[in-house]
């Protein structure tokens, strides 16, 4: 039994407790309250003056897949030989010894969704992982796979410009996705007895909505193409990046399509980022879009709290900002029943900060995953 006492507890879904108590038994949160009795056998962590929040979740990452340092031998994020590779699985590239992982944990992030990049129009399945464990199988959270798809510049640059083959245009991107989904539809209807096609098997799960279609789209027109394809095939769509989401925020809200927004502090490294707007997250949330904030990185994921702080400065309400790195990404990934808030029965994944978590001067003092302390900042405590 573990008792965290005297902290400013941000439950996310049940308000704030200041001071509050969080009781942990094994890997789970047992109780949360103001004046809970402390069992005599409990180990006590005095969080006086500290904030206690759920471990943060980055719902779009390449941690453990695009290794560091970023050199050819560590780069396992894009299979750039075929624009349609739905049979690829991020777990097969996941390196639990990636040096970036502990840096990200030390920032208060306990879960990320990691997977293929955006070089292919259909890139394969990503997976949510907890940032602990000695093997990929220990890290992976089961049943959190999503199918990576990509619109915009990246696939058409990789294939049209560099390899002189399709797709060379935005039409080509969308056409290849449609063609692949139609093949999967035919496979579902006419699957020959005893024969398997692992590419079409994977895509079939997108059609049956077992897997979300997580579609990379920066420009507003690409976002609308993603929605168009999603409606044509009845897909469960999540927009990744949504850089110009602010231009079509009302449409995204009306269609109830969530967006994994960011990075908020990226520059204009390519043409489709020329109208990046630092107020994007605030505008989308104000319109009623469910947002999660992401860094789209590996070790740079540790700057997630700073990006959220900037989003607050630019108009994102503080309550929604906390939700954007806790319960919202948990819901998008499909793990809101066990992560994203401090509630009895949920996994004991917590981050303790010595100041407001999104203030640049605050330091993450302690991180727990499944009730075990996995990071402790050396101090007088």
- Three-state SS sequence of 142-165: CCCCEEEEECCHHHHHHHHHCCCC
* Strand stretches in the chain, DSSP E: 2-10, 16-25, 28-33, 43-46, 51-54, 56-61, 109-114, 122-130, 146-150, 212-217, 237-241, 259-261, 291-293, 350-353, 364-369, 372-376
Query: DSSP class of residue 92?
Result: G
Nearest Cα neighbor of 13 from 342, 358, 328, 353 is: 342
Q: Return the domain boundaries, the chain.
A: 1-54+341-381, 56-339
At 66, give phi and psi (nearest 5°). Answer: -95, 90
Coil, helix or strand at residue 187: helix
pLDDT by residue, tens only, the chain of 381 residues = 999 999 999 999 999 999 999 999 999 999 999 989 999 999 999 999 999 999 999 999 999 999 898 888 889 999 999 999 999 999 999 999 999 999 999 999 999 999 999 999 999 999 999 999 999 999 999 999 999 999 999 999 999 999 999 999 999 999 999 999 999 999 999 887 778 999 999 999 999 999 999 999 999 999 999 999 999 999 999 999 999 999 999 999 999 999 999 999 999 999 999 999 999 999 999 999 999 999 999 999 999 999 999 999 999 999 999 999 999 999 999 999 999 999 999 999 999 999 999 999 999 999 999 999 999 997 655
Nearest Cα neighbor of 20 from 10, 346, 28, 356 is: 10
Could you report how far apart the first and last alpha carbons of the chain are, in Å? 19
Q: Are 295 and 309 in contact (CB under 8 A)?
A: no
Per-residue model confidence (pLDDT) at position 169:
98
Per-residue model confidence (pLDDT) at position 262:
97
At 50, give phi and psi (nearest 5°). Answer: -110, 155
What architecture does CATH give domain 56-339? Alpha-Beta Barrel (3.20)
The third-level CATH classification (topology) of the domain covering 1-54+341-381 is Urease, subunit C; domain 1 (2.30.40)
Nearest Cα neighbor of 309 from 289, 325, 330 is: 325
Distance, CA of 335 to CA of 108 (rounded, Å): 18
């Amino acid at each position: 039994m573990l008792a965290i006492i005297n902290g400013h507890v941000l439950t996310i879904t049940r308000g704030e407790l200041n001071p509050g108590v969080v009781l942990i038994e094994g890997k789970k949160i047992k109780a949360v309250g103001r004046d809970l009795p402390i069992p005599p056998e409990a180990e006590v962590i005095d969080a006086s003056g500290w904030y206690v929040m759920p471990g943060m979740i980055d719902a779009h990452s390449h941690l453990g897949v695009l290794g560091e340092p970023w050199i050819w031998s560590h780069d396992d994020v894009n299979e750039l030989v075929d624009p349609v590779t739905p049979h690829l699985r991020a777990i097969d590239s996941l390196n639990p010894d990636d040096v970036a992982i502990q840096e990200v944990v030390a920032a208060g992030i306990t879960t990320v969704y990691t997977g293929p990049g955006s070089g292919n129009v259909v890139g394969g399945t990503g997976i949510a992982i907890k940032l602990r464990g000695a093997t990929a199988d220990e890290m992976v959270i089961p049943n959190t796979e999503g199918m990576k798809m990509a619109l915009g510049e990246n696939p058409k640059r990789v294939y049209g410009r560099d390899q002189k083959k399709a797709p060379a245009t935005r039409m080509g991107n969308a056409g290849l996705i449609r063609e692949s989904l139609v093949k999967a539809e035919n496979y579902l209807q006419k699957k020959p007895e005893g024969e398997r096609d692992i590419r079409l098997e994977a895509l079939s799960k997108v059609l049956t909505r077992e897997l979300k279609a997580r579609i990379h789209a920066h420009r507003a027109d690409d976002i609308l193409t993603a929605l168009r394809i999603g409606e044509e095939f009845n897909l469960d769509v999540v927009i990744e990046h949504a850089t110009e989401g602010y231009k079509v925020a009302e449409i995204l809200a009306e269609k109830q399509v969530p967006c994994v927004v960011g990075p908020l502090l990226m520059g204009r490294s390519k043409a489709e980022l020329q109208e990046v707007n630092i107020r994007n997250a605030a505008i989308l949330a104000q319109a009623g879009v469910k947002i999660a904030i992401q860094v789209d990185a590996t070790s740079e994921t540790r700057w997630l709290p700073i990006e959220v702080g900037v989003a607050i400065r630019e108009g994102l309400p503080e309550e929604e900002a906390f939700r954007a790195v806790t319960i919202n990404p948990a819901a998008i990934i499909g793990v809101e029943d066990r992560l994203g808030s401090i509630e009895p029965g949920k996994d004991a994944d917590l981050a303790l900060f010595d100041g407001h978590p999104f203030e640049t001067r605050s330091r993450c003092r302690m991180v727990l995953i499944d009730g075990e302390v996995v990071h402790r900042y050396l101090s007088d405590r």
